[in-house]
Chain A
Amino acid sequence: GAVVSQHPSWVICKSGTSVKIECRSLDFQATTMFWYRQFPKQSLMLMATSNEGSKATYEQGVEKDKFLINHASLTLSTLTVTSAHPEDSSFYICSATRGTSGRGEQYFGPGTRLTVT
């Protein structure tokens, strides 16, 4: 159990357009979902934390108007990169936690590679 999917797995878009990435927990209800960004050969950088039905909490330095996060249900969170620019090209990964135990286990999706031309 604890499978998380992401769609699409990779996307290429033109500068100035918006891109939506979906994150789904397939076999559990995810009370909290996280969005990360990862650059080549670097660790994960947390962008925001989202709880179902409430506004996302963004990390310092992450533009909330550029990276729109919606956690509409216990199994789905979306990240929309608005007015994308080449510097937004990166590997975006979501994760989810089960329940409210606060034990820290996060289950990660396979990631979405975004290339902005």
Chain B
Amino acid sequence: QKEVEQDPGPLSVPEGAIVSLNCTYSNSAFQYFMWYRQYSRKGPELLMYTYSSGNKEDGRFTAQVDKSSKYISLFIRDSQPSDSATYLCAMSARGNNRLAFGKGNQVVVIP
């Protein structure tokens, strides 16, 4: 079993829809959870950072962490064509800067 599972299947949504992405993990030591956005041929950009369980909202983006279920989610409201990118979940344990990544989800928002 991989440490982090993320269904890489491409996701196409119409503009304005809600995009829902998720990852599951197996390592209970993970405490820091991140979502990165990566445009084609660019480096990943840190989008959301959360610590332990709970929700965090930033504009149209909401990150949720459920440590009891080892499950994290990212929601994008009112999706825009500019949101079309690959979204990678990543996580790390306390005191360890090394990140475990999901495979990434390619999202396409259709105008």
Contacts and interface: CB of A to CB of B under 8 A. Distances in A.
Interface stretch (A11-19, A63-71, A72-80, A106-114): A106-114
Given A32-B97, A43-B103, A102-B96, A111 B42 contact: yes
Given A43-B104, A91-B41, A104 B97 contact: yes
Contact of B97 (A93, A97, A110): A97
Given A43-B104, A102-B97, A107 B41 contact: no
A46 B88 contact: no
A25 interface: no
A95 B36 CA distance: 12
A25 to B, nearest CB: 13
Contacts of B88: 43-44
Interface string B84-111: 0000101111111111011110100000
**For chain A, which range describes its interface: under 10, 10 to 19, 20 to 34, or 35 or more residues?**
20 to 34
A43 B106 CA distance: 11
Given A103-B32, A103-B51, A44 B97 contact: no
Nearest to B89: A43
Contact of A104 (B43, B91, B102): B91
B99 A104 contact: yes
Contacts of B43: 4, 6, 93, 95, 108-111
Contacts of A60: none
Contacts of B102: 43
Contacts of B99: 46, 104, 106
B46 interface: yes
B41 to A, nearest CB: 7
A93 B101 CA distance: 14
A54 interface: no
Interface of A: 2, 4, 6, 32, 34, 41-44, 46, 49, 91, 93, 95, 97, 102-111, 113
10 residue pairs, one from A and one from B, having the closest CB atoms: A104-B92, A102-B95, A108-B43, A104-B32, A111-B43, A110-B43, A108-B44, A97-B97, A43-B103, A43-B101
